[in-house]
Structures are given as C-alpha cells and as structure tokens.
Amino acid sequence: MFAVVEISAQQFTVRPTDTLTVPLLDAEVGSSVEFGNILLGGEESNVSIGNPYLSGSVKATVIAHGKGDKVLVFKKKRRKGYRKLNGHRQQYTQIQINDIKLG
C-alpha cells in the first residue's frame, strides 16, 4: 500500500514504516500526527486518484526536529564595493509513517 500525501503544501509518497523529512511541523517529539490530504493511493495494481482528495488518513509519529545544512547567499555588485553574505538553515521534522487508511 502507498499514498501520495500533501504535507505543508508539498507532496510526499509514503508507505508504512517509511521515515520522511518534512518541513517543520508544530508537534512535540513522540506525538502522533494525522494527515488527511491524500491525493492518490492504493495498492500497486489498484490505484485511486482523488478529485482533489481521497477520503482517509495517514498516521505518523514525530521522531525529531532539526536544522538542515547551511545555505549561503552571496550578493555582489561589480566595481561598487558592495558585498553581502547571508546564511540560512531550514528547519525540518522527521516523521515515521505508522498507518495508511483509505476510505
């Protein structure tokens, strides 16, 4: 069984016991979260497509929160002496998929 789920405006293909890295979720570590926006799902031979969503839910457990690698943004203007360096680390949440139920 698999499903394509919309989490924080991004689409992820999930299967039971998968571990995913998704954008930061507002949930405590160890808590359970449920996603209802299922775009596509089913078995490999029998696939259902939502219009726009399927009924059902995907349940997951929050494993950890963290920050990704640093991304450097460098701006420069030629012959003007202007140089600017900014860094950014995107926050993420790791989740473990527990159960997929399609209605």
User: What is the structure's pLDDT at 94?
Assistant: 98
Q: CA torsion, points 46, 51, 55, 58, in degrees to nearest 10? A: 80
Q: For residue 17, report the phi and psi dihedrals to the nearest 5 degrees.
A: 70, 10
User: What is the structure's pLDDT at 103?
Assistant: 85
pLDDT tens sequence for the chain (103 residues): 999 999 999 999 999 999 999 999 999 999 999 999 999 999 989 999 999 999 999 999 999 999 999 999 999 999 999 999 999 999 999 999 999 999 8
